[in-house]
Amino acid sequence: MSAGALRLADVRIEIGGRELIPPLTLAIEPGECVTVMGPSGCGKSTLLAYIAGTIEPAFRASGGVAIGARDITRLPPEARRIGIQFQDDLLFPHLSVGGNLAFALPAGVRDRGARRQRIEAALAEAELAGFADRDPATLSGGQRARVALMRTLLAEPQALLLDEPFNKLDAQLRNDFRRFVFAHAEQWGLPTLLVTHDANDAQAAGGRVIGLARP
Amino acid sequence: MGEAVHEVTVDRRGLLSWMPALTVGAFMLPIGAGLIGTLLPAFGYLPAIGGSEFGLDPWRRLFAYPGFATSVTVTLVTGVVTALLAVGIAFGFCAWAHDWRWFRRIGAWLAPILSTPHSAIAIGFAFLVAPSGWIARALSPWLTGWVLPPDIATVHDPRGLALVFGLLLKEVPYLVLMIVGALQQVPARQHLAIAHALGYSRAAAWIKVILPQIYPQIRLPVYAVIAFSLSVVDVALILGPSNPPPLAVLAVRWFTDADIQFYFPAAAAATLLLVLVIAVIAGWFALERVAMTTGRRWIARGGRRGVVAAGARAAAFGFGGLFVLSVLAIVGMGVWSFATEWRFPDAWPPALSLANWMRRLDGLAHPAWITFVVGVLATAIALALVLSCLENESRGRRRTGTGALWLLYVPLLVPQVAFLFGGQVLLVRANFDGTIVAVVWAHLIFVLPYLFLSLADPWRAFDPRYARTAASLGASPARVFWRIKLPILLRPVLIASAVAFAVSVGQYLATVFAGNGRVATLTTDAVTLAAGADRRVIGAYALAQAIFPLVAYIGAAVLPALLYARRRAIAGVS
């Protein structure tokens, strides 16, 4: 059911005439995780923003982005079907845990019972069965992180971007959550691009590593 | 795969990109047109009433007015003294109180005073200090020996002392609120800790380290206080000297004279007031430069305590005094409105009852309804415009420059008489004066800036990654706005709306001019009645006028807490 590889063709980003991302051509196969490593401020997050379609106008960026045969370079972010995880879980504070998941579930799933079922199943997978009515603020950091990933997956993305999502978790949680994320990315057959400055993240991802220098 | 494209930035703004121009036009056009409509008759040109040639005759008539020199002097002295005292007390109080635990919630303490219209506070203050007022009653006859109200001018005094106090009651809390807002933009706590560690006293550390950092953000509010103090009309009518009155009151008196030939000197007086405001702000600006250089030298000398602490303590006492006076003023009008009768020198009325209110209900109902309708309409329109501007800004991902901030302050810096009169001439010509729509538009001129200023910071502080996350989940910009941003920012949106509503309720001159005397609100009625009606009547109107904004504030504070009772992260009550 995979949509195909995430492909970058000659993507380059500069700001104020300074080159941030040198020409980058890359294909990430379904289920594969590629890591971009580099110090903070090297433009890793900007690269993800470009792929997700949310780059700031101050940057000059060019290059093609495609998933399988679908060119998404010019699409608005909401039409790209690219999931993104930040280092904060960013659960919407005004919605319940279930409300957060329902926000992500495509409107195409119309039947109320079916929607409820999908949400319950996602929660069960995150070992949070019965948490649908809870206030996200009452969950632990690890629980929130898992809900955030389930939210991303429920939107049925065709690729996954990870923007240092393990950064704020403590050591034990970090290991658990890494396994949780990579297992799901593989199971869903998602081409995944991880940016991090932590070599352990890259190792856990187990795929190719691309180094970015400070510009 | 498509060929590489250059600069992929999709413009998501569409119609929204017109909203900033529309919003600025909504208040700048009437101000600009109104200024021209005042300037022309100031130089003799107003064909509708026979002024077809330019000339200096209006100015000659203005200068020939017997009280002219006194009027200008009283305007300048009360305006400048009010501004100096307001700034001194506000900064001194913050320097003294900044590390008290309740200081962080000072906004909530000041909300009832800030929400009460200027004219209502002024009326309450007049009840307090009048020869037959509460203070005289409390001290009579056991201390003063008075059995009849003494014949002394405590209100409408020729020097304008009552006017200065009446203005301070509102301007000081306003500046304190602005300072508290600015404090959140600088790492105040850390910087103060460093200064303390270097041996600086509490007040000295604040004045020398924090004040210079936040002053640039307080500058425009300070200028607004200067402009307001020089050009206020409603408070001056209630508390200020009346013969000769301050320039703004003189202009209004002439504008509304039955003899329309008085239009010409009135326009000249309004123009002169505009010049005075510009001159005083320019003078203040020069003073800022001097203070900057001498201040730097003063800081470099390294004094750790000195007079600063004493000054700050004095300012804090001043602040406390003003706070007590404000509370007594508000309570006082309440007591008067429920009094059955209240003879001098009794300190408390013999009985309280609802009878007075019952008798007033018929008269109150209509102006209350108009006040409510105009306030709701002006607030709703302003909210729609401001939200469109802010949403346009975040979709275009561009920050609005400081130029736009100055533009927003134009309605607060230009004296109201200087453009409202010219605006009225235009409205009359368009046969549009005296309508609710005209009044709503006139209110919008003042409601828009306040709503924008109170909503912009929280809106811009909203973490853009929420919107990006929602977009990556497939939500369109409209869905992100309605389902994510607006609900999360409900609190600041409601608070800004309450501020806007309070501004509308308090409008006196805008209502009088745009309504051409035919649209009566609680505020216009209260100011008119203050000139001589029974205190129980005035008290009822002033209290009704104060209750509307207060209810709006309470609603803005309580509603999110109720709606989000089960959402800990955003339910907080300030």
Give B400 to chain A, closest Cα distance, Å: 14
Chain A: residue whose CA lies nearest to B12 = A76
Cβ neighbour number for residue B213 with a 10 Å cutoff = 15
CA distance B123 to B281: 29
In the numeric block, which tokens belong to residue B197?
């560690």
A contacts of B10 (beta carbons < 8 Å): 53, 74, 76
Rg (CA), chain B: 25
Q: Does B474 touch chain A (CB under 8 A)?
A: yes
Determine contact, residues B545/B522, Cβ cutoff 8 Å. Answer: yes
Cis before residue B458, ω within 30 degrees of 0?
no
Cis before residue B244, ω within 30 degrees of 0?
yes
> Quick one: pLDDT at residue B100?
86
Determine contact, residues B474/A75, Cβ cutoff 8 Å. Answer: no
Nearest to B4 among A10, A90, A137 (CB): A10
Contact A135 B477 (CB under 8 A): no
Q: Does B184 touch chain A (CB under 8 A)?
A: no
CA distance B199 to B457: 34
Q: Does B11 touch chain A (CB under 8 A)?
A: no
Q: Are strands B45-46 and B51-52 parallel, antiparallel or unpaired?
A: antiparallel
The predicted model gives A59-69 an average pLDDT of: 94
Contact A135 B569 (CB under 8 A): yes
- This prediction has a pTM of 0.92
Question: pLDDT category, A214, cuts 50, 70, 90?
Answer: low
H or E stretch covering B46: strand B45-46
> Quick one: pLDDT at residue B3?
39
| Cα distances (Å, whole numbers) of residue B470 to A9, A83, A104, B14 | 26, 10, 8, 20
Contact A53 B471 (CB under 8 A): yes
Chain B: residue whose CA lies nearest to A87 = B465
Q: Does B566 touch chain A (CB under 8 A)?
A: yes
Nearest to B466 among A7, A90, A157 (CB): A90
For B44, which DSSP code?
A: T
Give B393 to chain A, closest Cα distance, Å: 12
Contact B474 A83 (CB under 8 A): no
DSSP for chain A, written as a single string: -----EEEEEEEEEETTEEEEEEEEEEE-TT-EEEEE--TTSSHHHHHHHHHT---TTEEEEEEEEETTEE-TTS-GGGS-EEEE-SS----TTS-HHHHHHHHS-TT---HHHHHHHHHHHHHHTT-TT-TTS-GGGS-HHHHHHHHHHHHHHT--SEEEEESTTTTS-HHHHHHHHHHHHHHHHHTT--EEEEES-HHHHHHHTS-EEE----
Q: In the A/B pair of chains, how many CB contacts fall below 8 A?
A: 116
In terms of phi and psi (left: phi > 0; alpha: psi -120 to 50; beta: otherwise), the region of B263 is alpha
> Quick one: pLDDT at residue B130?
92
CA distance B574 to B557: 7
Q: Does B259 touch chain A (CB under 8 A)?
A: no
The percent of residues in chain A predicted with pLDDT above 70, rounded, is 99
Determine contact, residues B89/B318, Cβ cutoff 8 Å. Answer: yes
Tens-digit pLDDT profile for chain B (574 aa)? 433 343 444 556 678 888 888 999 999 999 999 999 999 999 999 888 888 889 999 999 999 999 999 999 999 999 999 999 999 999 999 999 998 888 888 988 898 899 999 999 999 999 999 998 999 999 988 888 888 888 888 899 999 999 999 999 999 999 999 999 999 888 988 999 999 889 898 899 999 999 999 999 999 999 999 999 999 999 999 999 998 999 999 999 999 998 989 999 999 999 999 999 999 999 999 999 999 999 999 898 888 877 788 899 999 999 999 999 999 999 999 999 999 888 888 889 999 999 999 999 999 999 999 999 999 999 999 999 999 999 998 887 666 666 788 899 999 999 999 999 899 888 888 888 899 999 999 999 999 999 999 999 899 999 999 999 999 999 999 999 999 999 999 999 999 999 999 999 999 999 999 998 899 999 999 999 998 888 999 999 999 999 999 999 999 989 999 999 888 888 654 3
HSE-CB at B286 with a 13 A cutoff on CA atoms is 5
B224 SS3 class: helix
Contact A92 B488 (CB under 8 A): yes
Q: Are strands A159-163 and A192-196 parallel, antiparallel or unpaired?
A: parallel
| Cα distances (Å, whole numbers) of residue B269 to A133, B62, B83, B275 | 65, 7, 22, 10
The predicted model gives A45-62 an average pLDDT of: 91
Contact A104 B474 (CB under 8 A): yes
Contact B475 A80 (CB under 8 A): no
CA distance B247 to B13: 46
> Across chain A, what does the average pLDDT equal?
93
Contact A10 B1 (CB under 8 A): no
Closest CA to B422 of B28, B26, B32: B32
B contacts of A10 (beta carbons < 8 Å): 4
B contacts of A26 (beta carbons < 8 Å): none
B contacts of A106 (beta carbons < 8 Å): 474
Q: Does B401 touch chain A (CB under 8 A)?
A: no
> Quick one: pLDDT at residue B399?
62
Chain A: residue whose CA lies nearest to B394 = A56
> Quick one: pLDDT at residue A74?
92
Residue B520 class from Cβ within 10 Å (0-12 exposed, 13-18 middle, 19+ buried)?
middle
Contact A61 B4 (CB under 8 A): no
For B104, which DSSP code?
A: G
Q: Are strands A209-211 and A33-37 parallel, antiparallel or unpaired?
A: parallel
Chain A: residue whose CA lies nearest to B475 = A78
Contact B465 A138 (CB under 8 A): no
Chain B: residue whose CA lies nearest to A50 = B8
pLDDT at A117 over 80: yes
What do you get for the CA distance between the two ends of chain A, in Å?
39
Give A84 to chain B, closest Cα distance, Å: 7
A contacts of B478 (beta carbons < 8 Å): none
